[in-house]
Chain A
Amino acid sequence: MYASIDDIPLTSACHARETLEGRNSLREMGRKGKLNLRGNPGDAAFSAAVQKAFGMELPLRANTYNEFQSRRLFWLGPDEWLLHCDMDDIDALTETLSAELGNVHHAVTDVSDYYTVIRLRGPDAVTLLRKGCPLDLHHTAFPTGNIAQTRLGHASVLLHYHDDGETWDIQVRWSFAEYVWDYLLSGMRAR
């Protein structure tokens, strides 16, 4: 777990944690708790335990999420999910979930340090993402509230389009964070 704000991947790579270029901004969202969860959604005991521990149902449709308070539970695959939560809650949530699951076949992994989230915001955000993302990001094909696991340049990312219509959260493996940051920044400077 990050010991301090200075241990967040980009900040420790001597980057600014936040930058404004013209009408658009980039910001690394620090210290977010992330739990990877594997299990069989067809097993009623598994679904019930998750519901009880997280306060929400498992999202079962591809590329959707559910939320409860400050927590978001993302679909990653037919037997895999990712929880975003407050960093301070992660230990308690892990314990509660493990207790609820007991002997039910499952795996829970704290991946808080494995990924970081970069927030791209501004009227040119979609244009900047289109530079390296093969998805159709037009708002008619990819409305607000949508998420998708896809590619941005050479990096695998989890995109989340927020309801305000100009904010995108880009979750990326920390080893790709600097690449994605620079990739977006070079586009922002060219605008």
Chain B
Amino acid sequence: MLLIECPWCGQRDQTEFHPHGEAHIARPEDPDALDEAAWGDYVFFRKNPKGLHYERWVHSHGCRRWFNVMRDTVTDHIHASYKPGDPKPELPITADGGDTTGTPKT
């Protein structure tokens, strides 16, 4: 069971929320200019990473607002919750100096 921070209501139980996949996917500026492959990519293809993931959640049994969460898909650790429109938070740094996406220290 996860405790998720709603940017408005505070920490609540996971069962009050619903996840809705990857966040920060911008709708194409000029839809007419896209070929089918590009449309397919926009509509269907997602990163599905092992590690850090930016995703959308909605507080469906609470304030019914959408927001974004930065979650590690391996550990389920939630690094940040933030309002829509707010910038992506910085990647957290792991003990060895690399970030949690598995990018090693340079």
Contacting A at CB under 8 A, from B44-66, are 60-65
Tally of chain B residues near chain A (CB < 8 A) = 13
Q: A124-138 vs B: 1/0 string, CB under 8 Å?
A: 000000000011000
Residues of A within 8 A of B12 (CB): 134-135, 150
Determine chain B's interface SS by DSSP, over half rule: loop
Contact status A151-B15, CB under 8 Å: yes
Contact status A77-B16, CB under 8 Å: no
Residues of B within 8 A of A76 (CB): 63-64
Asked if A20 is at the interface (CB within 8 A of a chain B CB), the reply is: no
CA distance A63 to B60 in the complex (A): 15
CA distance A99 to B33 in the complex (A): 47
CA distance A63 to B65 in the complex (A): 14
Contact status A150-B16, CB under 8 Å: yes
CA distance A45 to B9 in the complex (A): 26
Determine chain A's interface SS by DSSP, over half rule: strand
Residues of A within 8 A of B16 (CB): 134, 150-151
| Interface-central residue, A63, A80, A134, A156, by most chain B CB under 10 Å | A134
Residues of B within 8 A of A62 (CB): 8-10, 63
**Chain A residues in contact with chain B, CB under 8 A?**
62-63, 76-78, 80, 134-135, 148-151, 156
A80-B63, A135-B12 provided; 6 other pairs, C-beta below 8 A? A76-B63, A77-B8, A77-B64, A134-B12, A148-B62, A150-B12
